[in-house]
Amino acid sequence: MPKLIVNGDDFGFSEGTNAGIMKAHHEGILTSTSVMINLDYAASGLEQLQQDAPSIGIGLHINLTHGKPVAPASHVSSLIDEAGFFHPIENILQVSGGYDSDELYEEIAAQIERFIALTGKKPTHLDSHYHIAFLHPLALEATLALAAEHGRLPLRESAFQNSTDKLIKDMQHFFPGIPDTYIQELIPTLQEVAANGPDYAMPARFETGFSGENITLGDLLVILADLPEERPTELLCHPGTGNDLLNPKATARQRELDALTHPTARELIDRYDISLISYADLANAK
């Protein structure tokens, strides 16, 4: 029996994102979400989510590239610009060499603590906006340490674990124009950080095929029809509403929502006897 986590990233980004994730859970196949805990719509959204969707898994979407930090700005000056905002993803390669490891640890720790304060429990798992916590060596080091300190929290699978080609593809997507040589040098550094860090768990295979331009119902059904049975799969998605003025990708987010809530998606879940789960079900897995 294939096991599938359907995780909606970016909860807390906007009311439209929150609404899309809620609808995808109530009317579709979404089982899990991860919250950008530093953003304005996180607190109110989490309160509603826990009240209206108690069975959904809620993880932390570690955010180092959008909005302002949770930790005091004076404590994390290497992570922010003069206005107090995180450096945007397109500028990361220019500034991340100056990131301070202690400041990264403090900010990620502060995000976990805010999550616990708002929800009353630990996140079901840790993942990261633009995967930055798994693509930057110092951020990865801090993330692994904090996952261990909080009881070996499950982590989203990172491409450096098993696929150089996948990591190159991811990096080129997030950082257009990045040289292949830079990525090739980064891979062993990330692997060394992981090898020398505390024991960690990435229990689910990470499926990114339902993203970017590939967000039709057909794209989703192809994935559902070919899930492996030997290991759980996490399907990345970003449902939202088409009228979300705060999200420049609102139209695409609505298309994802439409696919996730389409009756045929549920029919394939039943036909292939797919078990819909969240990271909470894998908390003790490798």
Q: Which of 169, 175, 158, 133 is nearest to 234 (CA)?
A: 158
Q: Domain coordinates of the chain in residue numbers?
A: 3-282
The pLDDT of residue 40:
96
Residue 235 pLDDT grade (very low, low, confident, very high; cuts 50, 70, 90): very high
Q: What percent of the chain has pLDDT over 70?
A: 93
Which of 18-32, 84-98, 106-120, 263-277 bottoms out in mean pLDDT, i.e. has the lowest? 84-98
Q: What is the CATH number of domain 3-282?
A: 3.20.20.370
Report the pLDDT averaged over residues 168-191.
76
Q: Which of 172, 71, 163, 82 is nearest to 130 (CA)?
A: 172
DSSP string, 88-157: PGGGHHHHGGG--HHHHHHHHHHHHHHHHHHHSS--S-EEEGGGHHHHSHHHHHHHHHHHHHTT--BB--
Burial of 95 per CB tally in 10 Å (0-12, 13-18, 19+): middle
Give me the residue label for tokens 């995967």: 131
Reported as a pLDDT band with limits 50, 70 and 90, residue 284 is low
pLDDT mean over 58-75: 98
Whether 285 contacts 201, CB under 8 Å: yes
For 137, the token pair is: 């060596």
C-alpha atoms less than 13 angstroms from C-alpha of 19 in its C-beta half-sphere: 13
Task: State the pLDDT confidence band at 17, using cuts at 50, 70 and 90.
Answer: very high
Q: What is the pLDDT of residue 28?
A: 98
Please give the model's pTM, rounded to 2 decimal places.
0.94
Average pLDDT over residues 153-170: 78
Task: Please tell me the predicted confidence (pLDDT) of residue 173.
Answer: 67
Cα separation, 20 vs 206, in Å, equals: 21
Return the pLDDT at 182.
Answer: 76
